[in-house]
Amino acid sequence: MASGTQWFYVVGSERKGPLTADQMAALQSAGVIDETTLVWTDGMAEWAALSDTPLHAGPNFPPLPASGPVAAGDMAAVYDPPVAGFGQAISTCFRKYVTFSGRANRPEFWWFTLFVVLGASLTTTIDGAVFRPDEYLEFGIRFGLHTYWPINSLFSLVVFLPGLAVSVRRLHDKDLSGWWVLLHFLPIVGTIILIVWFCRRGTQGRNRFG
């Protein structure tokens, strides 16, 4: 099964694609599509369930069945494949550094969150190894602070905006306003609510955010 082959699939009232075989596999892993999803590749006479479909490349596709989940002629859709891996999540979040529009699936949000946690742990360790405690104290007293972690502080500054942006996009994936991210300021309860929302699957098909 070649990774460069093209697939099309149906969600709600829309045709999505084209996608490669690797992207289709990522969709299945993310739970966006399953074996019952209608798909099509060149060489097939009609749309069929994913479980019954071989992969073949091709730019042409037949009209969708009028009696099926999509009316014939209703084919205006362009699909942006969801994030599925650690590296992809990091590159996507930094590429969308201050992009608060659109949606982010669970892998995109949680892989980037893991990156932030690991980065914070690493930079804190480096700070502790490079700077002595008494140097921290002198710097802190001079600037009215208790401690100062320069490398960790710089890392936190760099990831703040993309972290905020992906949080807003994750809420959008649940068809929720990004302003709900302000629940972080509600101690404990607000954070728990956001974690539950961030863990839950996004809405199927398009919503008001994309």
The confidence band for 183, taking pLDDT boundaries of 50, 70 and 90, is very high
Q: What is the pLDDT of residues 148-162, one digit of tens each?
A: 678 999 999 999 999
Measured CA to CA, the distance from residue 74 to residue 58 in angstroms comes to: 20
Residue 24: the pLDDT is 79
Q: How much is the average pLDDT of 9-29?
A: 80
Q: What is the pLDDT of residues 58-116, one digit of tens each?
A: 334 455 554 444 443 333 333 456 777 899 999 999 999 999 999 999 999 999 999 99
Name the region of 108 (left: φ>0; alpha: ψ -120 to 50; beta: rest): alpha
Looking at residue 63, what DSSP letter applies? P
Name the region of 105 (left: φ>0; alpha: ψ -120 to 50; beta: rest): beta
End-to-end CA gap in the chain? 31
Residue 134: the pLDDT is 52
Q: How much is the average pLDDT of 172-178?
A: 92
CB distance 6 to 17 below 8 Å: yes
CB distance 164 to 172 below 8 Å: no
Q: What is the mean pLDDT of the chain?
A: 78
Look up the pTM and report it: 0.58
Domains located in the chain, CATH noted: 1-81 (3.30.1490), 86-199 (no CATH)
